[in-house]
Amino acid sequence: MMPVSIWKKCAREAVAILCLALVPTVAMAWIHRGESKSAWNRAVIAELSVGEAGAPGAIVLWVDARPEADFSRQHVPGALSLDEEHWEALLPGFMAAWRPGARVVVYCGDQQCDRSREVAERLQRELQIGPVYVLKGGWAAWLGAQKP
Amino acid sequence: MAGGLVWEKSDADLIVNDPEQASTSADFAFRNESNRSVTVVKVTTSCGCTTASLDKKTYAPGERGKIAVTVAIAGHTGMLQRFVYVATDDQPPNAIPAMLTVRLDIREYLNIEPRMVFWSRGDPETEKTITCTAGTTRSVIIRKLEADHPDFTFRIETVEEGRKYLIFLKPVSIDKAAFDTLGLVTEVSGVGLRVFNAAASIK
Entry pTM: 0.79
Contacts of B11 (CB under 8 A, 6+ apart): B100, B101, B102, B103
Distance between terminal CA atoms of chain B?
Answer: 55
Q: Nearest CB to B114: which of A87, A118, A128?
A: A128
Contact between chains at A118 and B76 (C-beta distance less than 8 A): yes
Contact between chains at A100 and B203 (C-beta distance less than 8 A): yes
Q: Nearest CB to B47: which of A34, A114, A125?
A: A114
Residue B197 has pLDDT above 80, yes or no: yes
Question: Would you state the pLDDT for residue A31?
Answer: 47
For residue B112, the chain A residues in CB contact (below 8 A) are 126
Contact between chains at A34 and B137 (C-beta distance less than 8 A): yes
Contact between chains at B75 and A87 (C-beta distance less than 8 A): yes
Question: Would you state the pLDDT for residue A18?
Answer: 75
Residue A116 phi, psi (nearest 5): -65, -40
Question: Would you state the pLDDT for residue B66?
Answer: 96
In terms of Cβ atoms closer than 10 Å to its own Cβ (0-12, 13-18, 19+), residue B89 is middle
CATH 2.60.40.10 maps onto chain B at 5-106, 110-202
**Region B124-149 average pLDDT:** 94
For residue A127, the chain B residues in CB contact (below 8 A) are 114-116
For residue B74, the chain A residues in CB contact (below 8 A) are 84-85
Q: Nearest CB to B116: which of A35, A42, A95?
A: A95
Go through the domains of chain A in sequence order and give each one's CATH number. Answer: 47-146 (3.40.250.10)
For residue B81, the chain A residues in CB contact (below 8 A) are 42
**Region B23-45 average pLDDT:** 95
| pLDDT tens profile B137-188 | 999 999 999 988 789 999 999 999 999 999 999 999 998 899 999 999 999 9
Contact between chains at A114 and B120 (C-beta distance less than 8 A): no
d(CA A145, CA B197): 36
Contacts of A68 (CB under 8 A, 6+ apart): A81, A83, A86
Contact between chains at B199 and A95 (C-beta distance less than 8 A): yes
| pLDDT tens profile B90-121 | 888 788 899 999 999 999 999 999 999 999 98
Q: How many CB atoms are closer than 10 A to CB A78?
A: 9
Count contacts between A and B (CB, < 8 Å): 73
d(CA A145, CA B96): 32
| pLDDT tens profile A57-80 | 889 999 999 999 999 999 999 999
- Fold (topology level) of B110-202: Immunoglobulin-like (2.60.40)
Q: Nearest CB to B112: which of A34, A42, A126?
A: A126
* DSSP track, A48-92: E-HHHHT-TT--EEEEE-S-HHHHHH--STTPEE--GGGHHHHHH
Indicate the DSSP class of residue A145.
H
Q: Under CATH, which number does the domain B5-106 receive?
A: 2.60.40.10
Q: What is the mean pLDDT of chain A?
A: 84
**Region A16-36 average pLDDT:** 60
